[in-house]
Amino acid sequence: MLKVAVSWHDLDDPARRSPESLIWPRNRHWKRDSMSAIKHISISTANLSTAYHEAGHAVAAWRLNIPLRRKGVTIIPDRARGADGSIFHRQVVSKDIEYDRSNRNVLKAERLAQLSLAGEIAQRRYSPRGMRSYHSESDQEKAIDTLSYFAADARELEAWLKLLHIRTENMFSNPDVWRAVVRLVGELTRRGTICGREATEIIRLAFRTSESRRR
């Protein structure tokens, strides 16, 4: 498997802030309610950035036909894993990725790499100045590791990463896609954790709303 160091922040330009008008209080506390298991969280600027990051992953998963698992998406930190938030999705590439070089598996690897890139891109689109390199190191490594099995050399890998980065940026440039991200962010900041089935339904409903507006 090819390994190469890629200067990630050379690949994207500063993105615009969210076009949606959302105002979130900096110190608003949400407690457990009877409808879902909601842990005590504080909505801060950092929480909101994490929400955009994880919502970006989730919406990209829906667009790329990668199903979410039951645990879905959360912005509740997991200190044991060193994660500010998490998304749980099904594995799409072959378990024998080192040996399965079929075109079908290559396309699956591309989708998985885009999913890995989506969190950073959505977070940067919401808050370009708030992004730090450590916010996306793990996701970047996942994308590089996935594509490294199929790239012939460092030049091909770097070009491939740039292409998928551009594709993912263009995905979020679609107003309907970004509206779905914003809708999911609103629910995440209110609830903390959303199961996979419900997150998928929130995203689907956001797209239905966009379609109805155009009629």
Quick check: is 130 in a domain? Answer: yes
Which CATH number is 150's domain given?
A: 1.20.58.760
Which tokens go with 171?
């995905």
Quick check: is 22 in a domain? Answer: no
Q: 193 — phi, psi (to 5°)? A: -135, 140
Compute the mean pLDDT over every residue in the chain, rounded to the nearest whole number. 79
List the Cα angle 83/84/89 in 5-degree steps: 65
If one compares 149 and 21, the residue with the highest pLDDT of the two is: 149
Quick check: is 25 in a domain? Answer: no
> Residues 23, 29, 32, 38: what is their CA dihedral angle, to the nearest 10 degrees?
60
pTM exceeding 0.85: no
Is 39's pLDDT higher than 90?
no
What pLDDT does 215 receive?
61
Q: Which residues contact 28 (CB under 8 A, 6 or more apart)?
A: 42, 43
Is 194's pLDDT higher than 70?
yes
Amino acid identity for residue 161 in this structure: L
Closest CA relative to residue 136, chosen from 5, 2, 9, 1: 9
Quick check: is 66 in a domain? Answer: yes
Quick check: is 116 in a domain? Answer: yes
- 175 CB burial (10 A radius; 0-12, 13-18, 19+): exposed
Closest CA relative to residue 90, chosen from 116, 68, 59, 65: 68
- pLDDT class of 74 with cuts at 50, 70, 90: very high
Quick check: is 189 in a domain? Answer: yes
- 46 CB burial (10 A radius; 0-12, 13-18, 19+): middle
What pLDDT does 200 receive?
96
What pLDDT does 22 receive?
37
Question: Which residue(s) pair with 68 in the sheet?
Answer: 89
What pLDDT does 60 receive?
97
Map residue 53 onto helix, strand or coil: helix
Quick check: is 28 in a domain? Answer: no
Longest dimension (CA), the chain: 54
Return the beta strands (E) in the chain as ranges.
Answer: 28-30, 41-43, 68-74, 86-89, 193-194
Give the domain extent around 89.
40-214
Is the separation of the CB atoms in 55 and 199 below 8 Å? no
Q: Which residues contact 99 (CB under 8 A, 6 or more apart)?
A: none
Is the separation of the CB atoms in 205 and 194 below 8 Å? no
Q: How many domains is the chain partitioned into structurally?
A: 1
Is the separation of the CB atoms in 121 and 12 below 8 Å? yes
If one compares 8 and 126, the residue with the highest pLDDT of the two is: 126
Quick check: is 160 in a domain? Answer: yes
What pLDDT does 99 receive?
66
